[in-house]
Amino acid sequence: MRRMIAIGVLVLGAVAAAGSPVVTLYSGGFGYVRELREVELAWEGDLLLDGLPLTMLVDSLVVDGLTVARVDPLERGSTAIEDLVGARVTVFAHGERFAGRLLATGPGLVLATADGLMFLSSYDRIVAPLPVEPPLVDHLSLKVRYRDAQPGRTEIGVRYLAEGLSWNVTYTATLADAALQLRGVVAVENRTGVEFRGAQVSLVAGEVYRPTAKAPEGLGVRALALSSEYEAAPAFEYHRYTFPEPLDLTPGVAWAPFICGTLSFTRAYRFSGGAVEVRVRFTNALAPLPAGEIRFYDEGEELFVGAAAIGHTPLGSDVDLAVGAAFDLTGERVQESRQRITDALYRDTYRIALRSAKDAPVEVEVVETLPGTWTIIDPSLPYERLDAQRVLFRVLVPAGGTADVHYTVEWQY
């Protein structure tokens, strides 16, 4: 199966070139897109990011290489100033009226008039004829206000999550005597409405917990990207978070950078009767964290590896989050016997079998939930009591091998 998937990636990525977009697809119906864009910058100004999918999760957008002050989606179905280049317009500026063909926009306007070229560093308003037909918009455009940039031609990185990207593999198995010939065909689906030409495509196999945010249904998303510093202070039995600068909360959704810091974390594996979960654990040493979703990336932010939600988390609290299911670890829970000792007393025997395809040994936490009032007898490994109904066994699973834990429990209601 891995060989078939690798062949699909090789074919799809064969036409990719330097500077091409990098698209990572997940079978859950979403993707992670990274691209480089060559832009002309001033010290500060507005930059138009065009050709983005309507299905993108706008709050996942990151612009590398710029200090972003604000992000505004442009009206869908409306005409931006940049769309008027080449049209005849009337510009009102400094109490005067100028008519001509609009040649360029940016920090100012360049207008071709009957008297020659005119540069307007500022203006009050522009009047242009209505288009014969409303523009057909099949993509999202964002206006990015930036500051503290190095003037000149440069490259910036743009990355985001988007719905509407998915893949699947179809297999054909041919049997002949005692042999089986397996062929796989990978199908990649792009329903974002945007083309990714020359893209470097990779496919992620495994159960990755998808982000819960949805692409916006209409206009109204606003990004107010101010300082990431804020004041967190107790307020009654809660915490209040105050930003250092005023925010213009226009209609729609608004967001801003909130907190930034570095924490140590550990990775763990846990089996509770279903898939073997991959868990990320850390201690909150930054500040009181309000409830929300955490999206995890790996490999230098090149790979999205899962999402999980946290509740309101005080300073110093331990956080333990499941981000996905381990591809190379499986588990099975088997009830081997049950005896009824009395009308209310039972004796059950269980076996938990773990299997690993990894190339190094790993520890898997096995969590068992027990009914009623219980007593464990004859366990094959030591256990920890987590609470009134749960116990934990720590099982070392060898590389490419299996490991079992078994126990007998007597319980009554």
Residue 140 lies in a domain: no
According to DSSP, the residues that pair with 335 across neighbouring strands are 350
- pLDDT one digit per residue (tens) for the chain, 413 residues: 333 333 333 233 222 333 688 888 887 889 999 999 988 888 888 888 888 988 888 888 889 988 888 888 775 555 567 778 888 899 988 888 899 988 888 777 888 898 888 888 888 888 887 665 555 556 788 888 888 888 988 999 999 999 988 888 888 777 777 777 777 777 888 888 888 888 888 888 777 888 876 665 554 444 444 444 556 677 777 777 665 665 554 555 555 666 778 888 989 999 999 999 999 999 888 888 888 889 998 887 788 989 998 888 888 999 999 999 999 999 999 999 999 999 899 999 999 999 999 999 999 999 999 999 999 999 999 999 999 999 999 999 999 999 999 999 999 98
CA atoms within 13 A on the CB side of 204: 27
Q: How far apart, in whole angstroms, are the C-alpha atoms of residue 412 and residue 341? A: 10
Residue 132 is assigned to a structural domain of this protein = no
Judge whether 407 lies within some domain: yes
61 and 185 co-located in one domain: yes
**Structural domain boundaries enclosing 42:** 2-66+145-204
Residues 6+ apart with CB under 8 A from 408: 347, 348, 349, 350, 376, 377, 378, 379
Based on the fold, state whether residues 51 and 116 are members of the same structural domain.
Answer: no
User: Structure tokens of 120?
Assistant: 């307007």
Residue whose C-alpha is closest to residue 89's, from 116, 134, 123, 129: 129
Residue 263 has what pLDDT?
Answer: 85
The secondary structure of residue 221, as a DSSP letter, is: E
Residues 321 and 336 in one domain: no
* Co-location of 198 and 158 in the same domain: yes
Q: For residue 314, what are the contacts with CB-CB under 8 A and spacing of at least 6?
A: 284, 288
Fill in the amino acid letter for 395. V
What is the spatial distance between Cα 273 and Cα 400, in angstroms, rounded to a whole number? 21
- Pair 388, 269 in one domain: no
Residues 361 and 378 in one domain: yes
Q: Is 372 helix (H, G, I), strand (E, B) or coil?
A: coil
Instruction: Give residue 87's pLDDT.
Output: 84
Alpha carbons 27 and 351: distance in angstroms, whole number? 33
Q: What is the rounded CA–CA span in Å between residue 372 and residue 412?
A: 5
Neighbours of 352 (CB within 10 A): 22
Is the residue at 260 inside a domain? Answer: no
Domain with 112 in it: what CATH number?
2.30.30.100
- Count the domains in the chain: 5
Q: 374: domain CATH number?
A: 2.60.40.290
Same domain as 159, residue 22: yes
193, 59: one domain: yes
Domain end residue (candidates: 325, 345, 370) = 325
* Whether 58 and 119 share a structural domain: no
Is 403 in the same domain as 338? yes
Domain membership of residue 385 (yes or no) is: yes
pTM confidence score? 0.70
Please tell me whether residues 344 and 401 are part of one structural domain: yes
Q: Does residue 73 sit within a domain?
A: no
Is residue 139 included in any domain, yes or no? no
Q: Which residues of 92-116 are buried (b: 16+ CB within 10 A; e: fewer)?
A: ebeeeebebebeebeeebbbeeeee
The last residue of one of the domains, among 280, 297, 325, is: 325
- What is the per-residue pLDDT for 9? 30
| Number of Cβ within a 10 Å radius of residue 364 | 23
Residue 358 domain flag: yes
DSSP assignment of 166-181:
EEEEEEEEEEETTEEE
Who contacts 116 (Cβ-Cβ below 8 Å, separation ≥6)?
none
Q: Facing residues of 168 across strands?
A: 187
Same domain, 240 and 335: no
**Could you tell me what percentage of the chain is helix, strand and coil, using 3-state DSSP and rounding each to the nearest 5?**
5, 55, 40
